[in-house]
Amino acid sequence: MKLLTASLQAEWMKTKRSAAWWLVITGGLLIPVILLIGRFYNHELIPAENAAPIVWTKFYSRAWNYMGNLLLPMGVILVTSLVAQVEVRNNTWKQLHTAPLPYSIIFLSKLTVILSLLLLGFVLFNLATFGMITLPAVFYQDVFFPKAPFPFKGMLLGNAKFFLDMLPIVAFQFLLSLQFRNFLIPIGAGFGLYVASMIGMNWKYGYILPYIYSSYEFSGKSTIGATQFNFHWLPAIYCLLFTGISYIIYLTKADKT
Partner 1 sequence: MYLLETEGLSYQFRKEETVLNNIQLQVPEGSIYGFLGPNGAGKTTTLKLVLGLLRKQKGRVRIFGKDLDFDRLSILQQTGSLIESPSLYLHLTARENLLLYQRIYQCNPNRISYVLELTGLSHTGNKRCSSFSLGMNQRLAIAVALLHNPRLLILDEPTNGLDPSGIIEMRELLRSINRNMGITILISSHLLSEIEKLATHTGIINNGSLVFQGTFSQLMQQQQAACSLFYKTSDNLAAQTFLRQRNIVVDMDQDTLILPLLPREEIARINRELMKEGIDLFQVHAPETSLEQTFMNLINQN
The footprint of partner 1 (CB under 8 A) covers 2, 6-7, 9-10, 13-14, 16-18, 86, 90-102, 253-257
Q: How far is the CB of 111 from partner 1 (least distance, A)?
A: 17
Q: How far is the CB of 59 from partner 1 (least distance, A)?
A: 37
Comparing CB distances to partner 1, the nearer of 104 and 223 is 104
**Nearer to partner 1 (CB atom), residue 179 or residue 219:** 179
CB of 180 to partner 1, least distance (A): 19
Positive or negative, the CA dihedral 82, 125, 237, 206 is negative
Give min distance, CB of 104 to partner 1, in A: 12
CB of 101 to partner 1, least distance (A): 6
CA-CA distance, 220 to 23, in Å (whole number)?
30
Looking at the DSSP assignment, which residues form a beta bridge with residue 223? 230
Least Å from the CB of residue 115 to partner 1? 20
Shorter beta-carbon distance to partner 1: residue 107 or 211: 107
The 8 Å CB, 24+ separation contacts for 151-155 are 151/56, 151/57, 151/60, 154/57, 155/56, 155/60, 155/126
| Between 44 and 255, CB nearer to partner 1 | 255
| Cβ proximity to partner 1, 9 vs 182, nearer residue | 9
Least Å distance, CB 20 to partner 1, is 11
What residues contact residue 197 under an 8 Å CB cut-off, 6+ apart? 73, 206, 209, 210, 211, 212, 215
Q: Report the alpha-carbon distance of residue 143 to residue 141 in Å, rounded.
A: 6
Q: Which of 126, 165, 18 is nearest to 79 (CA)?
A: 18
Q: Half-sphere exposure of 159 toward its Cβ, with a 13 Å CA cutoff?
A: 18
3-state secondary structure 87-141: HHHHCCHHHHCCCCCCHHHHHHHHHHHHHHHHHHHHHHHHHHHHHHHHHHHHHCC
Positive or negative, the CA dihedral 32, 38, 40, 46 is negative
Nearer to partner 1, 15 or 215 (CB): 15
CA atoms within 13 A on the CB side of 48: 4
If the CB atoms of residues 94 and 181 are measured against partner 1, the closer one turns out to be: 94
